[in-house]
A and B are shown apart, each in its own frame.
Chain A
Amino acid sequence: QKEVEQDPGPLSVPEGAIVSLNCTYSNSAFQYFMWYRQYSRKGPELLMYTYSSGNKEDGRFTAQVDKSSKYISLFIRDSQPSDSATYLCASSTGGFKTIFGAGTRLFVKA
């Protein structure tokens, strides 16, 4: 079993839609949860960071962690074509080893 599981997609939505991206994880010791965004021919960039359970909002983006079900979510409101990218979830116990999901490729159509 992979430590972090993520549906690779692709996911295609019309502009303005609400996007829901999800991951599950298996390691109960994970305390730190991140979402990275990766544009084509670029490296991943940190989008959202959450510690333990709860929600965090930043503009059109909301990250949600449910430790009881080991479920990580990212919601994008009013999606834009510029949101088209691969989204990677990641988890860590706080050391130097961050475990990434395979990434979900998102296409937002104008």
Chain B
Amino acid sequence: ETGVTQTPRHLVMGMTNKKSLKCEQHLGHNAMYWYKQSAKKPLELMFVYNFKEQTENNSVPSRFSPECPNSSHLFLHLHTLQPEDSALYLCASSQPGQINYGYTFGSGTRLTVV
């Protein structure tokens, strides 16, 4: 399988649940990203990993916890979320130094917090 794959595609969770989002890329990229997309708002950068090291945490609440075990996999662990956290969570990858190729995004996980 090529490109960036995100699972699950849809997730409904209660405010006291713990769940994880998974992202996998087979492009040989070394940078991976989590973005949050809410209706009529710009994509919000959450976390950046470069060669498995976190290089950016954009003031994200601690109820979101990222994990990058290797350059191909990225997780977002969720716990005690709020209804306003409901959004589309997008994973992306890129190759550092090749900005002209942009980011490759997954199809996202549609998260609903009830």
Co-assembled chains A and B: yes
Check B40–A8 contact: CB distance below 8 A: yes
Distance from B22 Cβ to chain A, minimum over Cβ atoms (Å): 15
Q: Which residues of B contact A8 (CB under 8 A)?
A: 40
A43 interface neighbour in B48, B56, B108, Cβ under 8 Å? B108
Distance from A102 Cβ to chain B, minimum over Cβ atoms (Å): 5
Name B residues whose Cβ lies closer than 8 Å to a Cβ of A.
4, 31, 33, 40-43, 45, 48, 50, 55-56, 90, 92, 96, 99-108
A96 to B53, CA, bound (A): 13
A96 interface neighbour in B40, B41, B50, Cβ under 8 Å? B50
Distance from A49 Cβ to chain B, minimum over Cβ atoms (Å): 5
A100 to B90, CA, bound (A): 13
Distance from B3 Cβ to chain A, minimum over Cβ atoms (Å): 9
Name A residues whose Cβ lies closer than 8 Å to a Cβ of B.
2, 4, 6, 8, 32, 34, 36, 41-46, 49, 51, 88, 92, 94, 96-103
B96, B99, B106: most-surrounded residue (chain A CB, <10 A): B99
Check A32–B99 contact: CB distance below 8 A: yes
A99 interface neighbour in B42, B104, B105, Cβ under 8 Å? B42
Given known pairs A2-B42, A97-B45, A99-B42, the reply for A43 and B106 (CB within 8 Å) is: yes
Check A41–B99 contact: CB distance below 8 A: no
Check A97–B48 contact: CB distance below 8 A: yes
Given known pairs A36-B102, A45-B105, A49-B102, the reply for A96 and B42 (CB within 8 Å) is: no
Given known pairs A2-B42, A102-B41, the reply for A46 and B56 (CB within 8 Å) is: no
